[in-house]
Amino acid sequence: MPVVSLPYKYLERLCGSDRKTIIDHLPMIGSDIERILEDQVDVEFFPSRVDLYSTEGVARAMRGFLGIETGEEIYLVNPSSITFSVDENLRDVRPYIGSAVIRDVNLDNEAIISLMGVQEALHWVVGRGRAKVAIGVHDLDKVSPPFRYYGSPVSRSFIPLDYDREMTLAEIMEEHPKGRDYSHIVKDKPVMPLIEDANGNVLSFPPIINGELTRVTESSKNLLLDVTGTDERAVMTALRVLCTTLITAGGRCESVEVNGVVMPDLSPSLRNIDVPSCNRLLGTGFSAEEIADILEKMRYGAEKAGDTTVLVRIPCYRADIMHEWDVYEDVAIGAGFSNLDARLPATFATGHEHPVNALASAIRDICTGLGYLEVMPFTLSNEDVMYTRMQREPDPAALRVLHPISEEQTLVRTDLLPLLLDLLRINKRRELPQRIFHTGDVVLSMQTFQKLALASTHTGADFSEAFATADALMRELGISYTTAESTDPAFIPGRAADIMVDGMKAGTFGEIHPGVLNRFDIDQPVSGIEIDLHLLFPGQRETKS
Amino acid sequence: MQLTLNEKRLLLELVKKETTTPEEMGTILDRPADSVVQYGGLLSQKGLAKVERTVTTTLILTGEGSLYLKEGLPERQLYNSFSASTSIADLNSHPHAKIGLGWMKRLGWVKIEAGKVVKTGDAATSAIEAGLKNPDTAPADVKKDLLKRGLVTEEESVRYTISITDEGRKLASSGITLTGETGTLTAGQISSGAWKDLSLRRYDITKRPRPLWPGKIHPYQRMIDEMRRILLDMGFTELHGSIIQGAFWNFDALFQPQDHPAREMQDTFHLAGEQPLPKGWEKVRNMHESGGETSSTGWGGNWDPEKAKATVLRTHTTSLSIQHLAAHPEPPVKAFCIGRVYRREAIDPTHLPEFEQLEGIVMDTHVNFRNLLGYLKEFYGRMGFESVRFRPGYFPYTEPSVEPEVFIDDLGWVELGGAGIFREEVTSPWGITCPVLAWGLGVSRVAMLRMGLTDLRELYQSDIDWIRNTPVIHGGRC
């Protein structure tokens, strides 16, 4: 989640309240305070609330929450004569563009920092790293309308931001830091998106970099916004958040005509809220008037429209309001979570343990009774531990992770015994004897099963100990078994046996092969047991995903 | 007065010797000397003997000290490496140049003149050289230098003398019978009654035994079991399911947009192969695209069924909750799951690619947001977190959402899990018409807080001594 830095002075000025009151209430409108610094507070807002990614947006919400100014902000949009044409050749490249003009801004340093912050956050959250949406803010007075958004060849050149020489689009993608970061979004396209003015001056090469020409400074008075992207809804969301932020900062918005469509549309959307439904979901008993009052605190326009209905005007920047329940949540937040009494319902139900876990509990009883200590190794492992060190062939049914994060975790475990041996390696300096066990999930061919493994190490660990332990286990599990010669290469030949149940191999026990011990760097003999629980208790065969 | 056989034997020998050493007495009694010290100690506790402990310090040559004793101290070696004079630069090539030059100057063996080191002609055996031969008899300041230069170390040796007291003599003269003592009782001695005439050896009850390590359940599993018990007590049914999930159940059914970054290979472990879409998947598609039959707008755009077929390691147990709800759409449902979940995160002390998550859901006709807060308070209360408060939260599949915080001494308010009511976009495709309260919790985080762990790996790659030494009843909780 993006972190927004809120400078106290600017925040206090916009809010009309003091920093302590604001900081105290910030978590209650839905945020995590990251750190409180001397002249600013850094706050993490939820990804759904893109309208709070600027000091202006936070101030707007806080004024309502603190009761300083409630209800919706009204956004006037006057027409400008500025037009944009969008070229057909961008249809499969980056077809959507949103634009608006903001006049008479008075950008001090803090406002510029706030504007850059909201731009960055929108790039990240709405723009998915600029792929879906990218934003450009320009000094309008440096260029001449009408503007043109079209697909250009890579040989076109202009002076990009932070440079003092002309570069071709190809050079920008190769050499400019922003080019290296974002060229992957467009570099395979037949043409590059470009915005230029009536005189052929380049404003922007979206989604990569603006031109130096239209750089926004503290002396910029009139701004042109361009928001380009591949998803129209996301483009318009970003445009509305930007426009309303700049209006709150003191600017006047003017519309732009893009291929004949007038934008931005900053009018609220309307919803009728059903009062009983809202109260049912929240467990409250608010009247229509009370709900309207609370929603005004949350900066909605709201008025009673009958005993059971509230007509709500949802501000255009609230892209997160998709459903009535989203408004109900704001009723709860506006009322204050601390004012909602926690209360248990009368739902009657009896508890039931899952059979897999009931079996696991019984197994823990048996194993601890045998003097074994439980361990809980990872379920992600690797070929080396799982097979190579065990002198076993890799199991073709093992599930391999497509993009492992390290060599340690490349597959989902198919056996437990190797992980116990690995733990004995970690603990080789600890007092002997060591007897450990684990029961848990393994995955074979997309199916999750349970296994049980035990390992014992001390100077006298041998086949007899493994046999006696396996025999006790099977007795306590209530399952009769026979033994058969085992050929498992992880054990010493002649000192290992398979546990046979109803003619099927359900497990193996014996003395671990010294070659295996060498590979695990274990110095003492180890006796081990591994049992397939789903073969012993077929009724528990795990549900498929 | 009860004396063990060994105490009696020592006392009788002390009558003859008055004062003795453990070594001498050990030979006579045929016991190790340190056992004799122990018997003497037992006698002295009873006032029958006196044990005196004297500690003497001797200086022992270190490895370096022994080497220099043979080859000469660095300053001597350096002194012998040139004739009347040499340049400092030449001298610096000698391995002992650094330490040797300082000492040669201090001892007055050389002078520095115009960048040259010149011998003064007087280089008799220094006090340190003499001291190195016989460190124990060296003067105090030389001893200090020897220690400082790491040429010798102090070694303490402890000697005991044992002598008899008047009271001991009195007891001995009153007559002591040396009947044998019995260690382990035999079955024969018990059944025949012979035990009545035996002198049973007494044990030292102050000496701790060798530790005995019982087999036991892992401390983390005990905590998980405690949570399971609480939820079972509260009437919840336990779920368990596959750790392999289709992206459909892990993301799409939970209204996670298809372009959400968390779905990508960067954050989620993907596996080869596809999972078939379940019956009714079209309703989930409609929900994403346009909000289906609810008042929702949906996410817009096109929902790609191929993307939903991807196979992943479950990133949360919510994938099990929604499948359980889809299979049981009629109220009431109260279910929970504690299971391992996977995130593609690099391992560090507080982040692991796999960890446990707890999740509870309640579906019923009239449950509401306040009831959710009620469940959270109840659950955390039973876990021992008495103070709970709530603040707004955000999760893609719940609305309203809430982040509970618990108060922990020394830490203050700590965020512990998340909760909310499943969005209608999540429940509606499966014909669920009642609200579903849901909450989740990072179990390993609670373990860290409860057990004071600083590294999560301790839970999974445990030091056996940590398991052995973590008591079953921890802080009075069982």
Q: Do A210 and A182 have their domain in common?
A: yes
Q: What is the arithmetic mean of pLDDT over A505-513?
A: 97
Parts of chain B with a pLDDT under 70: 1, 178-179, 478
pLDDT digits (tens, 9 = 90+) for A5-27: 999 999 999 999 999 999 999 99
CA-to-CA dists, residue B460 to A439, B63, B228, B270, angstroms? 13, 43, 20, 22
Co-location of A104 and A155 in the same domain: yes
What is the pLDDT at residue A98?
96
**CB atoms A353 and B238 under 8 Å:** yes
State the best of B220, B242, B314 to mutate against chain A, taking most chain A CBs within 10 Å.
B242
Q: Is the pLDDT of residue A63 over 80?
A: yes
Minimal CA separation from B98 to chain A, in Å: 41
Q: What is the CATH number of domain B220-469?
A: 3.30.930.10
**A160 shares a domain with A87:** yes
Q: Is there a contact between A32 and B400 if contact means CB atoms under 8 Å apart? A: no
Q: Does A479 touch chain B (CB under 8 A)?
A: no
d(CA A28, CA A33): 11
State whether B373 and A337 contact (CB < 8 Å).
Answer: yes
Q: What is the pTM assigned to this prediction?
A: 0.79
Return the CATH number at A87.
3.50.40.10
Cβ <8 Å between B259 and A48 = no
pLDDT at position B139, please? 87
For A545, the closest of B245, B371, B377 (CB atoms) is B245
Yes or no, beta carbons of B237 and A132 under 8 Å apart: no
Please state the domain extents for chain B: 74-125, 220-469
Q: In the listed set A283, A310, A338, which residue is the last one of a domain according to the structure? A: A338
Handedness of CA B2, B4, B8, B14 (dihedral sign): negative
Residue B134, C-beta contacts closer than 8 angstroms, at least 6 positions apart = none
Residue A543 confidence (pLDDT): 43
Please check whether residues A242 and A211 belong to one and the same domain: yes
Q: Are residues A411 and A458 in the same domain?
A: yes
Are both A412 and A325 inside the same structural domain?
no
**Whether A446 and A362 share a structural domain:** yes
Mean pLDDT over all residues of chain A? Answer: 93
B358 touches chain A (CB under 8 A): no
Q: Which among A425, A427, A424 is positioned nearest to A437, based on CA atoms?
A: A424
Q: If you measure CA to CA, which chain A residue comes closest to B461?
A: A377
Say if CB A26 and CB A59 are below 8 A apart: no
Contact: A403, B265; criterion CB under 8 Å? yes
Buried b (16+ CB within 10 A) or exposed e, B36-74: bbbbbebbbebebbbbeeeeeeebebbeebeebeeebbb
Which of residues 408 through 427 in chain A touch B, CB cutoff 8 A?
Answer: 408-409, 412, 423, 426-427
Quick one: tokens of B38? 């122990």
Residue A446 in contact with partner chain B when CB distance is under 8 A: yes
Q: Which residues 124-143 on chain A approach chain B with CB closer than 8 angstroms?
A: 128-129, 132
**DSSP letter for each residue of A310-336:** EEEEE-TT-TT--SHHHHHHHHHHHH-
H helices then E strands: how many in chain A?
Answer: 16, 27
What residues contact A399, with CB distance under 8 A and at least 6 apart?
A411, A412, A443, A444, A445, A446, B244, B271, B272
Same domain (yes/no): A390, A523? yes
Mean pLDDT over A469-474 rounds to 97
Residue B425 C-beta-side C-alpha neighbours within 13 Å: 30
Average pLDDT of span A240-257: 94
Q: What tokens were used for B382? A: 């039973």
Residue A71 is assigned to a structural domain of this protein? no
- Which residue, of A263, A295, A316, is where some domain finishes? A263
Gap from A238 CA to chain B (nearest CA, Å): 15
State how far the Cα of A341 lies from the Cα of B387, in Å rounded to an integer.
14
DSSP of B178-199, one letter per residue?
-PPEESSPPHHHHHHSGGGG-E
**pLDDT at position A213:** 95
The reply to whether A429 touches chain B by the CB within 8 Å rule is no
A334 in reach of chain B (CB within 8 A) = no
8 Å CB contact of A377 and B460: yes
Chain B interface includes A339 (CB < 8 A): no
Flag whether residue B309 sits within 8 Å of chain A, measured between CB atoms: no
Hey, of A130, A282, A325, A326, which one would you mutate to test binding to chain B, going by the most B CBs within 10 A of its CB? A325
- What confidence tier does A1 reach under pLDDT thresholds 50, 70, 90? low
User: Of A351, A354, A405, which is closest to B234 when you measure between CB atoms?
Assistant: A351
- Residue of B301, B52, B260, B271 lying closest to B165 (CA atoms): B52
Let me know: does A55 contact A26? Beta carbons within 8 Å.
Answer: no
Q: Confirm whether A124 is domain-assigned.
A: yes
Residue range A465-473: mean pLDDT, rounded = 97
pLDDT for B1 equals: 67
Strand partners, B341: B355
Quick one: pLDDT at residue B311?
A: 95
Query: Which residue of A332, A402, A434 is in closest CB contact with B400?
Result: A332
Residue B426 neighbours by CB under 8 Å, 6+ apart: B253, B254, B255, B322, B397, B436
CA distance A75 to A19: 27
**Looking at residue B95, what is its pLDDT?**
84
Specify whether the CB–CB gap between A531 and A500 falls below 8 A.
Answer: no
Q: Which parts of B345-385 fold into alpha helices (H)? A: 369-382
Question: Which of B220, B340, B393 lies at the smallest CB-CB distance from A379?
Answer: B340
Q: The domain that contains A19 carries what CATH number? A: 3.30.56.10
* A545: confidence class by pLDDT, cuts 50, 70, 90: very low
For residue A72, tell me if it sits in a domain. Answer: no
Q: Is residue A350 part of a domain?
A: no
CA atoms within 13 A on the CB side of B195: 13
How far is residue A463's CA from residue A513's CA, in Å, rounded to a whole number? Answer: 11
A contacts of B234 (beta carbons < 8 Å): 351
What integer pLDDT is reported at residue A384 of this predicted model? 97
Q: Which residues contact A143 (CB under 8 A, 6 or more apart)?
A: A197, A199, A201, A203, A213, A214, A224
Strands (E) in A259-308, as ranges, are 261-263, 269-274, 301-304
Integer Cα distance of A479 and A536 in angstroms: 8
φ, ψ at A151 (rounded to 5°): -95, 125
Kindly report, residue by residue over A337-355, the tens digit of the pLDDT.
Answer: 999 999 988 888 889 999 9
For the segment A61-90, the average pLDDT, to the nearest whole number, is: 94
| Size of the A and B interface in Cβ pairs below 8 Å | 264
Domain count, chain A: 4
* A112, A146: one domain: yes
Say yes or no: A275 and A238 in one domain: no
Tell me the residue range of the domain where A217 lies. Answer: 77-263
pLDDT of B400: 95
Please choose, from the candidates B457, B446, B248, the residue with its C-alpha nearest in 3D space to the C-alpha of residue B345. B457
Q: Are residues A234 and A277 in the same domain?
A: no
Length of chain A counted residue by residue: 545
Start-to-end C-alpha separation, chain B: 45
Task: Please report the beta strands in A87-163, taking only residues with DSSP state E, as ranges in sequence order.
Answer: 96-103, 133-139, 147-152, 157-158
End-to-end, the C-alpha distance of chain A in Å comes to 31
Rounded Cα distance, A522 and A534, in Å = 30
* Helix A324-335 vs helix A288-297: crossing angle, to nearest 10: 80
Q: How far is A376 from chain B (nearest CA, A)?
A: 5
Say what percent of chain A tops pLDDT 70: 99
Residue A239 lies in a domain: yes
Distance from C-alpha of A312 to C-alpha of B121, rounded to nearest angstrom: 106
Do A118 and A190 share a domain, yes or no? yes
B366 close to A (CB below 8 A): yes
Of A294, A313, A338, the residue that ends a domain is: A338
Q: List chain B residues with CB under 8 Å of A281.
A: 368-369, 400, 421, 435
- CATH, residue A449: 3.30.930.10
CA dist A412 and A381 (Å) reads 6
Chain A residues with beta carbon closer than 8 angstroms to that of B228: 353, 357
Contacts of B280 (CB under 8 A, 6+ apart): B326, B429, B430
Question: Rounded to 5 degrees, what angle do the CA atoms A324, B390, B422 make?
Answer: 35
| Number of residues assigned to chain B | 478
Average pLDDT for A132-150: 95
Q: What is the pLDDT of residue A539?
A: 64
List strand residue ranges (DSSP E) for A14-76, in order: 31-36, 40-45
Q: What share of chain B is helix, strand, coil (3-state, %, to 5)?
A: 40, 25, 35
Q: What is the mean pLDDT of residues A67-86?
A: 94
